[in-house]
Structure 1
Amino acid sequence: MRLLTPEDFEPWVGKKVRLNTVPAPVEITLARIERRPVLRGLPDHREPFSLFFEAPANVVLMDTTYEFDCGKGGPHEICIAQLQPSADKRHYQAAFS
């Protein structure tokens, strides 16, 4: 199994991605990718990164794994966690290490 990398998601920054949710799919926007340095002494590990998503305030998602359709190579099973919402949006993060 090939591990996902930040490059897999770069074409989708600023675009909506579809999540397979019940009772109907929802779309959220991939707002940005945050890269973190590889730990020293671990050259065979992938570059750690996080995906940050935004959604309308009425899109409430649980902290769990969803099937994301990001197009190329997908769908991907990605675990997200909700961050502090803002006045008009909800924010979610997926961390890859």
Structure 2
Amino acid sequence: MAAFAAAGAADPALAGEVAALAEQAGAQLTRLRAAAPGSPTSTAAPSGGAPPAPETRAWLRGQVAAAAASHAAACIGQSGARAALLGSIAAGLAGQDGRLA
């Protein structure tokens, strides 16, 4: 979520383009928090913030790809519904990565 906010602040036109993706990421984060109450889920801004336009899209895509990989890796240490949720979120983020290409 922080990456979408930082990218939107750096490039307002991009913010409009990716509003649906940001909304989807927010919904996924809400489901993840509900599935693992008390677990840390960071929404802190990425270090260094977003670069200025036109590099912002590429930067955001990198952030989304990294989040997808992180969620996929986290599946390995989980089981049941939590693993399924993490896998689903990883797949959704991978799809967002493709849409940002």
TM bracket (short chain): under 0.3
Greater RCO (CA < 8 Å, at least 6 residues apart): 2
Q: Going by fraction, where is helix more abundant, 1 or 2?
A: 2
Q: Going by fraction, where is strand more abundant, 1 or 2?
A: 1
Scaled by the length of structure 1, the TM-score of the pair is 0.25
